[in-house]
Amino acid sequence: MIGIIDYGMGNLHSVKNACDHLGLPALISNDPQILKDCDRLILPGVGAIKDCMENLKDKGLFSWIKSQVTEKKTPLLGICLGMQALFEESEENNGVECFGFLNGRIVVMEEVDIRVPHIGWNALEWISKGEYEPIEPSYVYYDHSYYGIGFDKDVLMAYSHYGNLIIPGLVKKENVVGTQFHPEKSGKVGLSILDAFGKGIL
């Protein structure tokens, strides 16, 4: 069972519908007593990182997620804002401490001649595939104004170009996976990635 974490921010039902379409058992909850029985977790997210982290703490989910991921080694997929929360900190909202599952920080996309936010379809370039066999060419759907830097290079599985920026699109470190794009909105490619996570391939 996949537990989709409801902390008041995110495309919960879009993710749930995608799981249903793939035949992946999933539920939406903000109750750790229900989520603890799930063997995989998804942390979606849309909005500002400060609200994200405060909501998680207010609902008693921040420390619970940390325990599940670091002690019980429960696989966790962070989507968009949920991926940004996986890093050490974000410069958004004058600086916010995040989970720290991944080294690195989140910074605003500052570049000449590009539109911010980065919204729409973009090509995903693969570096490492592991056991996963991606659909290629891979195009995925982004919607964000911040992106990760300073991460360990071996966690980067796939990236996208946006202007002169390299956007980490898919990262993985042990049981922690993050997609800056929205797999639930990325057609067959995104569904394939979500399915791979749900089946333990990613």
Enzyme catalytic residues: 80, 182, 184
Please check whether residue 170 is in contact with residue 190, taking contact to mean a CB–CB distance below 8 angstroms: no
Structural element, H or E, at residue 17: helix 12-22
Q: What share of the chain is helix, strand, coil (3-state, %, to 5)?
A: 30, 30, 40
Which single residue is written with the structure tokens 């207010």? 58
Which single residue is written with the structure tokens 């600086």? 95
Instruction: Give the distance from CA 55 to its chain's centroid.
Output: 17
The torsion region of residue 47 among left (phi > 0), alpha (psi -120 to 50) and beta comes to left
Closest by Cα among 139, 140, 142, 145 to 119? 142
The torsion region of residue 73 among left (phi > 0), alpha (psi -120 to 50) and beta comes to left
